[in-house]
Amino acid sequence: MEVQSSNRGFYHSAMYYGTMLGIIWSIMYVLMFIGLKSPVLLLTCIALFIGSPFFAASFAKKYRRNECGNCIRYMQAFTFLYWMYICACLLSALVMFLYFRFIDNGMFFATIQEVLTASMNFPGIDEAYRQQAELSLQTIQNSTTSEFVWYILGNNIFNASILPFIIAIFVRRNNKG
């Protein structure tokens, strides 16, 4: 019975901290969606993106200190981080879907198309860049917001299968004595 409640607490904590990480990601994505023309919003988005693994490590260390007596093995840290990342992926994908469905009204893709079109018309632009921008423009025009959300979700799940291996190295702490 104790193992079952311990597992329940483990997954509950992973979901809780994953929700916190998902909120950070959701803010990051919304800043990216609304801030394509604002350097301050884009810099904040980039800062959240770069800081995301540090937030995850901080949450895992907090779990280690509060729930594990400041001792967590590598595999336990990896598993905790993996489930935390999966919860964050799901929440951020839901927020992105809701944003595109009810708030955006095509503004994000229109802004990207506008930026790409303007960059293709700069004097002195390399022909290879122009062709790449045209290809990107066609790809954006042919994709839907649902496809974009699925793409980001897949990318986040891919990252969730790699980053916990690395972060767990810094989070683990064995008994010394």
Residue-wise pLDDT for 60-74, tens only, equals 999 999 998 899 999
Q: Give the helix ranges, DSSP H, for the chain.
A: 2-34, 39-67, 74-99, 107-120, 127-142, 145-171
Kindly tell me the sign of the dihedral angle through the C-alpha atoms of 49, 80, 23, 110: positive
CB distance 72 to 171 below 8 Å: yes
| Contact of 26 with 92, CB cutoff 8 Å | yes
pLDDT above 90 covers what percent of the chain?
A: 66
pLDDT of 154 higher than 50: yes
Q: Which of helix, strand or coil describes residue 143?
A: coil
pLDDT of residue 1: 37
In this prediction, residue 95 carries a pLDDT of 97
Mean pLDDT of 101-114: 90
| pLDDT score for 4 | 42
Region 93-119 average pLDDT: 91
Cα–Cα distance for residue pair 134/117, rounded to 1 Å: 8
Cα–Cα dist 22/41, whole Å: 18
